[in-house]
Structure 1
């Protein structure tokens, strides 16, 4: 169940939003001020924040900017501030959407769904760009790796091999040839694969764990360590 933090000082609107959204399978945590909302965020994780622009103890835009510096949580403004410059300011401070009052609940729910899908895709992309276990950390996006806290020097080809293996777990020699080398238009044979795998194994030996296992007659298997 997705969790929503609602920061809205209008008690009747706050109550109505909580009721409707919880009827549609969201868990909603109501707050009536920025300080109350921030206090909740310090101790809890939410998937989305519904945020009024004007609150008794401050400006929702500054609050949004602060949240976006520290968290990846989606933020949707629900506000009576309907001037074009207000909406632009909302997006400039990192908001995922901006809805002016009054609004229709079905539209709000669709906007919430869209914002959650967007953040979900971003989280999945981040998760896929990093491999991590007790000993090994690989950042595929920035081409950086560390083994037992020490920098691990890998070639671009070795990063591509590791990316393929950590995603697929078991890979054939033919798949490695197609995905790693054939894309460059260069012809290589299985010996090239074996040489690169052996070099990579030697670099990973310092973990005290066998990361790459040979599956005879097939290819290689990635044996990651449990976190």
Structure 2
């Protein structure tokens, strides 16, 4: 069954092009003119992915993204005209899974959509991962719930994929490129801001003190490591 995509953009030409292009490639597509309309559509119908314009009048893309992410794990790709790293980080931190800078080519957009919709194949040993209970942290992998000192939060799909990949290789430094290509796809490798944002999000949910991480350790210039207490 083809994926269902909601395009949220105030530009009618962009919406028409998106609908025509994505439909031609087998996706089911609907659109909304504003963040408010998009949120209402998401409440009433089921979608697999949202293409969300960052710069819209009224409720902007960032606020819309945060509102979506507060109640849904749907895949979100942000559309932006600004290639500055600060805005990319802001988009990822708001809850986006990926972003595409305008103007973009159809192959690039389709590749980003495929990468965002994909789910990480089960990594070697991942099926045997056990719940983590250590140092005041309880991580239930079956429900994707983390409880730290009595406070429970849930991992998003992408956070879970990244953490699972690290957990399946405990106490081993994993290079940035390996993590990016394993979790986001083979077309990735240099987008270090992705890892910084998602590692920080995981630390906020997993670490008793995110400023002094015990589990998600940075090995300078090399990569990240999940420190599993012995």
Q: TM-score range by the shorter chain?
A: 0.5 to 0.7
CA distance in 2, matches of 1:140, 1:116: 21
Give the aligned partner of residue 82 of structure 1.
83
CA distance in 2, matches of 1:30, 1:140: 35
Give the aligned partner of residue 37 of structure 1.
38
CA distance in 2, matches of 1:15, 1:28: 10
Give the aligned partner of residue 28 of structure 1.
29
**3-state SS, counterpart of residue 63 of structure 1:** helix
2:36 paired with 1:15: no
Compute the displacement of 1:67 (Å): 1.0
2:55 paired with 1:54: yes
CA distance in 2, matches of 1:120, 1:69: 26
**Larger of the two Rg values belongs to structure:** 1
2:109 paired with 1:108: yes
CA distance in 2, matches of 1:112, 1:103: 13
**3-state SS, counterpart of residue 58 of structure 1:** coil
Cα distance, 1:40–1:84 mapped onto 2, change above 3 Å: same
**Within 5 Å, which residues of 2 pair with 1:57-72?**
57-72=58-73
CA distance in 2, matches of 1:18, 1:116: 18
Q: Tell me the alpha carbon deviations over residues 77-110 of structure 1, each in whole angstroms, 9 at most, x when there is no partner.
A: 1121322211110011111111110000111001
**3-state SS, counterpart of residue 119 of structure 2:** helix
Contact 1:22 1:28 in 2 (8 A): yes
Unaligned runs of 5+ in 2: 131-139, 144-230
**Within 5 Å, which residues of 2 pair with 1:56-205?**
56-118=57-119, 141=142
Give the aligned partner of residue 5 of structure 2.
4
CA distance in 2, matches of 1:8, 1:48: 14
Compute the displacement of 1:141 (Å): 3.5
Contact 1:6 1:49 in 2 (8 A): yes
Compute the displacement of 1:118 (Å): 3.1
Cα distance, 1:23–1:66 mapped onto 2, change above 3 Å: same
CA distance in 1, matches of 2:8, 2:120: 20
Alignment size in residue pairs: 129
Compute the displacement of 1:69 (Å): 1.7
Compute the displacement of 1:62 (Å): 1.4
Compute the displacement of 1:119 (Å): 8.0
Contact 1:73 1:119 in 2 (8 A): no
